Amino acid sequence: MLAVYAAIYYSQWTYMALAFLTPLSINIEEYTEGFGLFIPTEPILFGLLMLLILRQLKGQTFEKHIWQHPIVWAVSFYLIWIFITSISSSHPMASFKFLLAKLWFIVPILFFGPTVFKAKKRINMFIWLLCIGMTVAISYTLVVHASYAFGEKEGHWVMWPFFKDHTIYGAAVAFVTPCIFGLYLSKKHDPLMKVVLLIMMVITIVGLYFSYTRAAWLSVIAALCVLIAIKFKIKFSLIAGGLTIVGVLLFFSWDSIQMELERNKFEHTTEEFGEKLQSATNVTTDASNLERLNRWSCAIAMFKERPIFGFGPGTYAFEYARYQKAENLTIISTNFGDMGNAHSEYLGPMAEMGIFGLIAMLLIVATIFYKSITLYYKWPEEDRQMRTLILTMILALVTYFVHGVLNNYLDTDKASVPIWGFCAAFIALEYSLKKNKKSLRH
């Protein structure tokens, strides 16, 4: 009853509390017969969704500028396409449940967020709360992991009950890594606050290392590359041209590259950092890599069969088994959909929602980065704190969407709340910038 009261009368603070609660939420699926729900975040998100719908019915609509933002257009197209493909789905009940979950993950955070972040200091607070919650989760994981001498095998589950496994944990740790550095660099802190932030940095870096998640490590390296590109204002045309040249070279050298990859025998189970990174390209003996390729192969086969509407949102686990080829099966392959999904934030929608599902996802990613990087360049240089925080949020999002090539977690609160929260912050800041420019003109 207290939670309901707080959500109704202090909805903005309830929104802010989600940043702290998300890293510490617990999925009750382990304690029930297959009923998955993140507590307390999902009930709060659902409650906020219902509250926003009631306010909409009463005429208290979202502000006009929210509907005019390209990120909202891209996300709206994505949600509409989920609805359309749910109708044609091979498992309509599963698809409409998927749609409902997407609505409470996206609408309260993305659509209500710009109102919350009207006060710019709340953006700083949101990042702080997310980092504090994540630091608590990392500290707990490290303490448990230390009791097992930081073993690689134990590193797959010691983050339970806050995270299901080390891959989503690694993605979350990678996401907050730029955030903590950004908080430290955003302004001058008193000595005590500096010490606190430095301790948080050390905990996060140690947590990232002992997550034993290759994709998380690579995503942080990708964020550093983007940081260099933004700081040196490298033109997109140069980056695109460079990537094209690399792509052409890879295409014409593929046979020799494949032979070299087949010589790679490093396993992901090693605890040595360099060897673990090298194991990312082991496509001969590494079961994790081979199973991911198996899932991607199934996703592509499913897309080829239903290229327009797909099999329906949330149906990959029910359908992929029959598309597995004998030569692709691994020791961890399963026909029961109990070992994850398509392992890609891009191929998953393509298999489940056809070509427009993939386009919708790519459109969201492209719009987020185009608008956020443009915002960073336009933001006044004298406002060092907010400029640094904008860059911080961009780099955090880079870690996730690079990680999204290999895994997909946007159907969980762990990824959805911070990602859509940062997008809401961009919308609020862009509107603030436009308003300030108008007032200066008049």
Q: What are phi and psi of 150, to 5 degrees?
A: 55, 40
> Measured between alpha carbons, how far is 274 from 356 in angstroms, rounded to an integer?
39
> Per the domain annotation, does 211 fall within a domain?
yes
> Per the domain annotation, does 300 fall within a domain?
no
For residues 352 and 85, the answer to whether their CB atoms sit within 8 Å is: yes
pLDDT tens by residue, 190-247: 999 999 999 999 999 999 999 999 899 999 999 999 999 999 988 878 877 887 887 7
Which amino acid, residue 433? L
38 DSSP 8-state letter: E
pLDDT band at 275 (very low <50, low <70, confident <90, very high): low
pLDDT tens by residue, 40-71: 999 999 989 998 888 888 876 678 889 999 99
Mean pLDDT on 402-428: 95
pLDDT band at 128 (very low <50, low <70, confident <90, very high): very high
Token code pair at residue 384:
């060092």
Q: Are strands 26-27 and 38-39 parallel, antiparallel or unpaired?
A: antiparallel
Write the CB contacts of 70 (distance below 8 Å, at least 6 apart in sequence): 367, 370, 371
User: Where is pLDDT greater, at 343 or 285?
Assistant: 343
39 DSSP 8-state letter: E
Q: What are phi and psi of 379, to 5 degrees?
A: -65, 135
- Least confident interval from 21-30, 124-133, 250-259: 250-259
Token code pair at residue 200:
């948080």
User: Where is pLDDT greater, at 84 or 252?
Assistant: 84
> Measured between alpha carbons, how far is 206 from 198 in angstroms, rounded to an integer?
12
Q: Assign 3-class secondary structure to 273-309.
A: HHHHHHHHHCCCCCHHHHHHHHHHHHHHHHHHHCCCC
> Measured between alpha carbons, how far is 142 from 358 in angstroms, rounded to an integer?
37
> Measured between alpha carbons, how far is 441 from 185 in angstroms, rounded to an integer?
32
Q: State the pLDDT at residue 247.
A: 74
> Measured between alpha carbons, how far is 344 from 296 in angstroms, rounded to an integer?
8
Q: State the pLDDT at residue 290.
A: 86
Helix, strand or coil, per DSSP, at residue 27: strand
Does residue 279 carry a pLDDT above 60? no
> Per the domain annotation, does 47 fall within a domain?
yes
**Total tally of structural domains belonging to the chain:** 1
Range of the domain at 374: 2-235+342-441
